[in-house]
Structure 1
Amino acid sequence: MRRFSWPLATLPAMPAEAVSADTAIDNLPVWRLSDLYPSQTSDALLGDMKKAEELALAFEATWKGKLEQAVAGTGATGLGAAITQYEALDDLLGRIASYAGLTYYSDMTDAKNAKFFGDVQAKLTDWSSHLLFFALELNRLSDAAVDACLDQDPVAARYHPWLLDLRMDKPHQLEDRVEQLFLEKSMTGAAAFNRLFDETLASLTFNVDGKEQPLEATLNLLQEPDPATREKGAKALSEVFAKNLRIFTLVTNTLSKDKEISDRWRGFEDIADSRHLANRVERPVVDALAAAVKDAYPRLSHRYYKMKAKWLGMDQMNFWDRNAPLPDTVNRVIPWDEARETVLSAYDGFAPEMAGIARRFFDENWIDAPARPGKAPGAFAHPTVPSAHPYVLVNYLGKPRDVMTLAHELGHGVHQVLAGEQGALMCQTPLTLAETASVFGEMLTFRALLDKAKTKKERKIMLAQKVEDMINTVVRQIAFYEFERKVHTARKNGELTAEEIGQLWLSVQEESLGPAIRISEGYENWWTYVPHFIHSPFYVYAYAFGDCLVNSLYAVYQNADQGFQDKYFELLKAGGTKHHSELLAPFGLDATDPSFWAKGLSMIEGLIDELEALDTDA
């Protein structure tokens, strides 16, 4: 159940390909975490930790067992006052948690960072146990009592969306002491195995031509023009994944069983229902999305990869050729300043306000860009808390996809800044809608670059890259979702061997990639390094949801006379205060409409049509 808005860990990395740590790029910023706290031992942090403990104990003493009286009162003894205090404490705990998490993800191999992160997690869990009663007692209040309170207490009325959201958890709420046990045991259960996964992955090195290098640099080899280099990178990855298979298999089995126990106790019917509830999206909507994407595999991934194999001069591509650059692609390093201006210019062309917010991330050191050993792989935007500001992590090495990743994460950052106006309890957007601004930011940047293409060849390369990114975001993520469904379903019958998990992985990969991709030995273990499966089970469909939604949203933008930007900013500012149906209605969109997903997928198909036409013209 969702109890607190502050995160103990970062958002999972977006599904971008990796970068190399060998390319030198100047002017890469490192984030300024001192905006949160000066250091791990600073008086400011230690003082806030002491204050957080005191306030948590005081809050429990003041309000536990007294919410029935509070709901009937107003002013200092009313429910509005209680929620206001709770929100302020939530923000304080979130600031501490964010600092610990971002410090840890700056270098996960640093023993001091790991200890600090673990100690802070333990303390936050202890303090949270004193606040657990609040949501539980609120959900035991009758609807009539809460409604009457909202009518008479204007402070409480402000939190109406949060109260409605909270009460959606009510059917799955357990007895107080069981909830407390779940919370306290999480430190030695799921959280511990998440940390084991992270630290194992961060410590892996891969030998390529006698040189040991980290995961990101090795994944980056799959984007090199030379087929032999791509093959060496893939074989190095497969070898190391196989050597560490026991750990990854244990983590996967343990976390899947842990989730099954929680779901069973809470009464969730389907293995993904808890994620749907957290995302505030209905199961039929997700089922329709998954079915639409699977039905489109032949028209999207199968068709595109067949074309790409021909471009690369192959009858069939190896699995490590999937993200290879097309022939004649200019293999240059894009300087950081150019990437910055590319994204900001695209954002400015849509709305100067959007560019203005994004510019603060550069000017005020809210971005950590260099790729370095021990740093979290991939990319993410961390919202922290409304009293502070978001941070963005990327591993930037100057690839075109790195520019798109930057545009994606800055979209998240802009969204998080705007939604912060809702306060700590209502600023967080469900994952499905959280991908809206990020994917929209990517689309703006892509369209701006495409408009500058001078030749058909240049346009073809850019379109192909965008189609690949969209396939990675839609087709690949739904395949990931189907893989998770197979794993969690099979795990109910007992532990799964690494070979069994590998076979499930291959079954969905073969189905989604199609006959133009040769699946050879070694690829069966590539499920091991995907963090989404570990940190947030079933998170991945949110990417496909966001991409298809943005495709439809962008079509509305292209055909809108005026007013689109204002409606778009209202959507972002809403945070978690509105359901997706309310947020999409002003644009004439409805995710519950069976044809909605077909519209989003048709944009990808249209880009493939254009590629095919360009290929014919050539």
Structure 2
Amino acid sequence: MTLPLPSPVFDANAAGGGLGNLPEWDLTDLYPAPDAPEVARDMAWLEKACADFAAAYEGKLADLDAAGLLACVQEYEAIDVIAGRLMSYAGLRYYQNTMDSERAKFMADAQDRVTTFTTPLVFFSLEFNRLEDAALDRLLAANADLARYKPVFDRMRAMRPHQLSDELERFLHDESVVGASAWNKLFDETMAGLMFKVAGEEEELNLEATLNLLTDTDRAKREAAARSLAEVFDRHIKLFARVHNTLAKEKEIHDRWRKMPSPQHGRHLSNHVEPEVVQALRDAVVAAYPKLSHRYYALKAKWLGLDRLQVWDRNAPLPIEQPKTVDWDTARKTVSDAYAAFSPRLAELAEPFFTQGWIDAGVKPGKAPGAFAHPTVTTVHPYVMLNYLGKPRDVMTLAHELGHGVHQRLAAAQGELLSSTPLTLAETASVFGEMLTFRKLLDGARTPAERKTLLAGKVEDMINTVVRQIAFYDFECKLHAARAEGELTPDDINALWMSVQAESLGPAFDFMDGYETFWAYIPHFVHSPFYVYAYAFGDGLVNALYAAYADGLPEFQEKYFDLLKAGGSKHHKELLAPFGLDLSDPGFWQKGLDMIAGFIDELEAMEA
């Protein structure tokens, strides 16, 4: 596709409407510029290092002693660092402005070159997985430094039953740049380029600004935004259906060749979590819909003075809520103080994000929507992206993404291969950071109305994190199952989407014509199939962790930091044992759901 010319220079701070001086990324810790000699140097090093690695080790892993295998793994890790550094820089620049053709080209070219250079490495995991268990055990027993990598080896070897021939694995690696990643870019560029004409607004708005109107105090504005979203999504629905059909079919082909027992199985393997644990989470949440979302939204309809809620009322502020804009300095202080109240060390770990150009906060044309924390590589530091508009929820998003950033900083000491945390545990620090911020605000509430507003906001966030994400997971399960039977029309996908909406949101809602297309803008379905259950997983886990903290578990802070520092070096059973928690316990998820229900109990009591 032809990309538009770069967007004009845009002053995020001028457009911030009194939000203060919004920070932007300083990416020079990765590379000084796209044409810097360091980029060319690392590209050249990567090409040679990959070729040298293959020449030194391909066909020879079974002959290595413990010291030789350790050297091999460490060389592989060093290659991973440079490849990750290059792609982090290219990706972060691209997400700052996905409509800039130079940035898009730089990322695509970098991805092509890195994929080509690393193709010779494909043999490593395949050959490693052919090592006999007894032989590998002997090597690990002989060398403690090598044994440290056992969690990495365990995750690799979990793929043994699903491994293809060396030739096929090389082909899939090479082909990836024109497969899923190409469709991902098409989706990202299309979404970033969408503009919405909302009744009553002078100018067209991008996706982020239009979604933001769904939380406006003016019901007419919320409705106008929802209808504009529906109109634009419907206009592009054939393209979005094509993206989902293609990606789901590609996944079905790969899964069939790899003999995966279900579309979700690959995600469970990468998350290092047992399928039955995820199923227990899903079943517990679905069973709790009536006492959570159904009950809460019935309360909300009453607060809003409505017999029925429309979809544009779901995230509406309460009538008693005083509209307010939180400037950047206030948001920073709120989160930093909440972190410091838990532990000064937590606030210290978060501080460089504010002072060193590690956050990009402003809403800008072409900038990717949403928010994320990207760990880059363990030799640099994470970067946080926000689209900060000064809403109270934006403060919680800052607390969330900073939690990720702190987690990534602490885990970096594990090294590149061991630092990465499975998605199921990756949400721990982020959701915990939100909980700390919420509890600090709740403790400081001066009036019953302020407490009610805070509680309602937290319940809505938890419903969005738990109920909505499990509904999304069910939608994905249905989508992939249906696609396995044949091509899906937009109407087919729309029907699957609506099949989970009424069930999860409850009888208080009516659904406008057009809402059936709202699956189209959710990036997780495109970028990371079945990612979404990790949010519910993280919320349930953090609720249980916070209960242990509130109950005064001895040395909780140190145990918490140890959990974060472990990164991906331990299984969830080992990580959570110091807190007396076990995810395989059937009653585990009920603890977290009971916390949400308890907040709703308090809100109901306020009505008595």
TM-score by length of 2: 0.96
CA deviation profile, 1:65-115 (whole Å, cap 9, x unmatched): 111121x353xxx10111111111111111001001101101000000110
Partner of 2:56: 62
Partner of 2:259: 267
Of residues 200, 210, 215, the one that matches 1:218 is: 210
Partners of 1:497 and 1:553 in 2: CA distance? 43
What does 1:243-322 correspond to in 2, within 5 Å? 243-322=235-314
Partners of 2:370 and 2:18 in 1: CA distance? 18
Q: Is the 8 A contact 2:18 2:327 kept in 1?
A: no
Match for 1:109: what amino acid?
Answer: M
Q: Is the 8 A contact 1:381 1:391 kept in 2?
A: yes
CA deviation profile, 1:516-560 (whole Å, cap 9, x unmatched): 111120100000000000000000000000001101110000012
CA deviation profile, 1:306-343 (whole Å, cap 9, x unmatched): 00001001001110110000002121111101100110
Partners of 2:463 and 2:142 in 1: CA distance? 51
Deviation at 1:165, TM superposition (A): 2.1
Distance 1:425 1:561, change over 3 A: closer
Deviation at 1:561, TM superposition (A): 4.6
Deviation at 1:360, TM superposition (A): 1.2
Partner of 1:605: 597
Partner of 1:151: 141
Of residues 136, 151, 175, the one that matches 1:185 is: 175
Partner of 2:505: 513
Partners of 2:600 and 2:142 in 1: CA distance? 57
Deviation at 1:281, TM superposition (A): 0.6
Deviation at 1:157, TM superposition (A): 2.3
Deviation at 1:368, TM superposition (A): 0.4
Moved over 6 A (4+): none
Of residues 25, 34, 53, the one that matches 1:31 is: 25
Partners of 1:73 and 1:301 in 2: CA distance? 55
Count of aligned positions:
593
Q: Is the 8 A contact 1:21 1:216 kept in 2?
A: no
Does 1:109 find its partner at 2:103? Answer: no
Unaligned residue ranges in structure 1 (runs of 5+): 1-19
Match for 2:126: what amino acid?
Answer: L
Q: Is the 8 A contact 2:66 2:146 kept in 1?
A: no
Q: Is the 8 A contact 2:425 2:538 kept in 1?
A: yes
Partner of 2:334: 342
Partner of 2:11: none
Deviation at 1:158, TM superposition (A): 2.6
Partners of 2:69 and 2:15 in 1: CA distance? 53
Deviation at 1:277, TM superposition (A): 0.6
Q: Secondary structure at the match of 2:367?
A: coil
Of residues 89, 95, 103, the one that matches 2:85 is: 95
Match for 1:451: what amino acid?
Answer: D
Distance 1:561 1:281, change over 3 A: closer
Unaligned residue ranges in structure 2 (runs of 5+): 1-13
Deviation at 1:186, TM superposition (A): 1.1
What does 1:538-617 correspond to in 2, within 5 Å? 538-616=530-608
Q: Is the 8 A contact 2:24 2:357 kept in 1?
A: yes
Partners of 2:16 and 2:446 in 1: CA distance? 31
Of residues 444, 468, 475, the one that matches 2:436 is: 444
Partners of 1:606 and 1:360 in 2: CA distance? 36
Q: Secondary structure at the match of 1:392?
A: strand
Deviation at 1:152, TM superposition (A): 2.3
Aligned residues: percent identity? 58
Does 1:501 find its partner at 2:484? Answer: no
Q: Secondary structure at the match of 1:381?
A: strand
Distance 1:477 1:291, change over 3 A: same
Distance 1:513 1:486, change over 3 A: same
Q: Is the 8 A contact 2:24 2:361 kept in 1?
A: yes
What does 1:111-150 correspond to in 2, within 5 Å? 111-150=101-140
Partner of 1:229: 221
Does 1:388 find its partner at 2:380? Answer: yes
Partners of 1:177 and 1:543 in 2: CA distance? 36
Partners of 2:526 and 2:375 in 1: CA distance? 20
Partner of 1:83: 73
Partner of 1:472: 464
Q: Is the 8 A contact 2:16 2:362 kept in 1?
A: no
Match for 1:190: what amino acid?
Answer: A
Q: Is the 8 A contact 2:155 2:270 kept in 1?
A: no
Partners of 1:474 and 1:73 in 2: CA distance? 45
Partners of 1:21 and 1:605 in 2: CA distance? 40
Deviation at 1:24, TM superposition (A): 3.9
Q: Secondary structure at the match of 1:597?
A: helix
Deviation at 1:215, TM superposition (A): 0.3
Match for 1:285: what amino acid?
Answer: V
CA deviation profile, 1:382-408 (whole Å, cap 9, x unmatched): 011000000000011110000000000
